[in-house]
Amino acid sequence: MHAPGPTFERLLPPVADADIRSLAELLVDAVDSGAAVSFLAPLDPGVAERWWRESLAASPSRAIVLVARDAHGIAGTVQMQPAWAPNQPHRGEICKLIVDRRARGAGLGERLMHAIEEASREGGFRLLTLDAKEGGAAVQLYRKLGWQEVGTIPDFALDPDGQAKHGTVIFYKRLES
């Protein structure tokens, strides 16, 4: 018999300590895998936990944080943070799309993106933007899902090893009314 697939849910405050720990493990795993997710390696689990706690607490009420759970805990996450600017109430930024290495390559990233796009549309957002590491797997994912590529900013960030720099590719997607 197959194990059941991940279930999806919107994470709402107050977020349980166990979920913060699981999200921190996911972030550490992503940095260990060489992903461009803001942090350098090695990422201390305590630092990762603090980052999740503070960033979730600081998220405005229109923000959407999705998690996918499997038998081991949180296997994937993605979020949409609304633009702060009063003249951009229709725009949101997609960030921190992460799938744990144990669950990659099985369509979870794609499902998380479909889910966050639909949740954003239902929340009244009509334009989403994001950026992704040049040459990374996520760039292929966003292209596959019909995101429009704007261009690449060179030398945008350091690789997790803190040595080489990589570019970032800017994308946007319009959401239908």
Binding site for ligand COA (CB under 6 A): 30, 33, 35, 37, 97-99, 104-110, 132, 136-138, 140-141, 144
Which residue has its beta carbon closest to ligand COA? 109
Measured from the CB atom, the residue of 50 and 144 that comes closer to ligand COA is: 144
Measured from the CB atom, the residue of 76 and 82 that comes closer to ligand COA is: 76
CB of 101 to ligand COA, least distance (A): 8
Report the candidate in 127, 124, 109 with the shortest Cα–Cα distance to residue 61: 124
Q: What are phi and psi of 36, to 5 degrees?
A: -90, 85
Measured from the CB atom, the residue of 87 and 163 that comes closer to ligand COA is: 163
Q: Helix 45-58 crosses helix 17-32 at what angle (to 10 degrees)?
A: 120
CB of 56 to ligand COA, least distance (A): 18
Measured from the CB atom, the residue of 19 and 96 that comes closer to ligand COA is: 96
Count Cβ atoms below 10 Å from residue 59 Cβ, excluding itself. Answer: 17
CA-to-CA distance for 25 and 19, rounded, in angstroms?
10
Count Cβ atoms below 10 Å from residue 174 Cβ, excluding itself. Answer: 11
CB of 169 to ligand COA, least distance (A): 9
CA-to-CA distance for 80 and 107, rounded, in angstroms?
20
